[in-house]
A and B are shown apart, each in its own frame.
Chain A
Amino acid sequence: MTADPNRDAIKVLQEAIYRDKVLRSRAMTPAERLEEALELSNDIYAWMLDGAKAQCGLRSDEEGWVEVQRRLQTLRRIHESKLYKPVAA
């Protein structure tokens, strides 16, 4: 089996990207990092809506949000299957 000749180069690139992310974060205040996390979270929902609408051929945002919610609920069930249990009534 031949080793991937690009593997080392990719690893160096990954480490350089990660170093940049860390150095950038170190230069930010805690409040700035909190604000960026909130902005990124807003953005990610917008991208999920666009993705759901495009993949399912949906025209309205409301239909798209229903699909986004369905996907998130599926992910939640998968990720949390052993971590959470219903509280007995």
Chain B
Amino acid sequence: MNLYQLASRVIEALEAESIPYMVVGALSSSVFGVPRATKDVDIVLQLLTREPLRRLETRLAEVVVFDPPVTFETLTGSVRHILTAKTRPPFIVELFELGSDLFAVERFSRRRSEWSSQIKRQVFLQTAEDVIVQKLRWGRPKDLEDVKDVLAVQTPAKLDMDYITRWCEIHQTSGHLRSVLAEIEPLL
């Protein structure tokens, strides 16, 4: 099973269980920046209880295993479930429960859908602005590279920079944002 077949199965199962979702991580940054390889598919889920997650596990039992232990992201408190494909390659899907972090909640409310001919359906994704804000918040080297790519491809003129600036001030990442903008200036 290839990565888009696995992504398709997971998204199909989420829709069948009426679980609102949004693809984040490298796949979403590729949609708005420079396409790059990733070893996993990251998806944020909006859950009122954990019951739909148990039904999802049953529904996907043929294709993935839910790996213990369940972990939480120290930055936002979001709980993460790791799913490993039972088929080869052993692709990973990471499911993040939407928590109460203010940015995470606003980011989820702004999600948009994009058609994928490989996944064969509309796929909900975070916006370009939210890719930038979240990746600046993580601040790892590869995150900053993704931010640079998204800003360079989309260009600040086409992005809601007021939104980005507001969240960067709250997250105290404005310095990173200024550095990346200076790097891409020759391309604008």
Q: Report A's interface with B, CB cutoff 8 A.
A: 15, 18-19, 21-22, 25-26, 28, 30-31, 33-38, 40-46, 49, 61-62, 65, 68-69, 72, 79, 82-87
Contact = CB atoms under 8 A, between A and B. Distances in A.
Contacts of B80: 84
Interface of B: 2-4, 7, 26-27, 30-39, 69-75, 79-80, 84, 88-92, 114-119, 123, 140, 149, 152-153, 186-187
B90 A42 contact: no
Nearest to A32: B35
Contacts of A25: 33-35, 149, 153
Given A22-B152, A83-B74, A84-B74, A33 B89 contact: no
Contacts of A42: 2-4, 89
Given A37-B31, A38-B2, A79-B140, 4 more contacts: A25-B153, A28-B35, A31-B117, A84-B74
A34 B69 contact: no
Given A35-B118, A38-B7, A85-B74, A68 B37 contact: no
30 contacts: A21-B34, A22-B152, A22-B187, A25-B35, A25-B149, A26-B153, A30-B32, A31-B114, A31-B115, A31-B117, A33-B32, A34-B27, A34-B35, A36-B30, A37-B26, A37-B31, A38-B3, A40-B37, A41-B37, A41-B39, A41-B91, A42-B2, A42-B3, A61-B88, A68-B90, A69-B90, A84-B73, A84-B74, A87-B70, A87-B72
A25 B115 CA distance: 17
Contacts, number: 113
A62 B86 CA distance: 12
Contact of B39 (A35, A36, A61, A72): A72
Contacts of B75: 83
Contacts of B31: 30, 33-34, 37
A65 B117 contact: no
A87 B71 contact: yes
A86 B39 CA distance: 21
A31 B116 contact: yes
A49 B187 CA distance: 37
B104 to A, nearest CB: 15
